[in-house]
Amino acid sequence: TAEMLYEEATLAKVPVSLATVYNTLNQLTDAGLLRQVSVDGTKTYFDTNVSAHHHFYLENNHELVDIPDPHLMLQKMPEVPEGYEIARVDMVVRLRKKR
């Protein structure tokens, strides 16, 4: 996340603002070098793997991990309203440790 990168920069004594980190990550995303993955609408992760793939979200340690199976897919896509097309499908499977 931008917050994680900002924290690392701060610890390394790199003078950068959180806004600059966000702006840079968004520019890299717009250029196709990063992919945004949103979890719960509250956290946005920036993934360097821009190929079509899905993720596990480990709830206990707030970590996003690539799902290794490239054949994971939805069996049926919803009908798209006229004038629209599907740009991308993001699947996030949430995991937590067994109790």
pLDDT for position 84? 97
Per-residue pLDDT, averaged over 10-25, amounts to: 96
* pLDDT for 73: 73
* Per-residue model confidence (pLDDT) at position 52: 82
N-to-C CA span, the chain = 28
Sequence spans of domains, the chain: 51-99
pLDDT 10s digits, 75-84: 888 899 999 9
Residue 89 clears pLDDT 90, i.e. is over it:
no
65-91 b/e (C-beta count within 10 Å ≥ 16 → b): eeeeeeeeeeeeeeeeeeeeeeeeeee
pLDDT, tens digit, for every residue of 28-74?
999 999 999 998 778 899 999 998 888 999 999 989 999 987 777 77
Q: What angle do CA 24, 92, 89 make, to 5 degrees?
A: 75
- Given this model, what pLDDT does residue 91 score? 85
pLDDT of residue 5: 95
Is 44 buried (19+), middle (13-18) or exposed (0-12) by CB count in 10 A? middle
